[in-house]
Amino acid sequence: QVLEQLQPGALGSMLVVELKTEKRVEKKYIIKQVECIDEKQANEALEEATELLKLHHSNICAYKELFVTWDNKISSLFLCLVMQHSGQGDLSSVINEKRKNSEKITDMVIVKFLGQMVDALFYIHKQNIFHRNLKPSNILVTGEASFVLSDFSTETLMKDEMKWKIRVEESRHL
């Protein structure tokens, strides 16, 4: 069941979904939907993204499933990445909230955050995986001083220059 649609990113839309199991346990996930130009691009991106399923680190958002789907309404092919939901928002929201309230993030939280992100980046680079879009909105808050790196992309999707040009133009008009 789709609970909400989050602010779209440069490469696609994000949905918060809830999965109800047979034991009536409800789990929340985020599904990132990335529009693909054609079947070839979708298959290449799917193959690259499969590496994300192998990532197991306390400061990296866990990817649960990947699939490609066709949307009949708009005649488009989408790569869908299913990932854990942190439930506490992202670093960008925390920064904005702190600014709004004229508050500062404590030194302890900053030190823990930096350590966790360096640790996560070392880990993914050892796996020969690169984030490609590191920014506060792609860092999820999982606790008071606990963070996970999320919203990885693939080289195939990042090479789609037309999509990036359109997104840049859209953001200029907001």
| Dihedral angle, C-alpha 57, 58, 60, 63, nearest 10 ° | 70
Convert the pLDDT of each residue in 51-83 to its tens digit.
888 889 999 988 888 888 887 777 778 888 888
User: Phi first, then psi: what are they for 46, rounded to 5°?
Assistant: -60, -45
CB 120 within 8 A of CB 130: no
In the chain, domain spans: 2-172
Give percent of the chain with pLDDT exceeding 90. 21
Convert the pLDDT of each residue in 131-147 to its tens digit.
877 888 888 898 878 89
Tally of CA atoms within 13 A in the half-sphere of 128 that contains its CB: 2
Region of residue 10 (left: phi > 0; alpha: psi -120 to 50; beta: else): alpha
Where does 2-172 sit in CATH, by number? Answer: 1.10.510.10
Q: Quick one: 17 exposed, middle or buried, by C-beta within 10 A (0-12, 13-18, 19+)?
A: middle
For the question of whether the overall pTM of this predicted structure is more than 0.85, the answer is: no
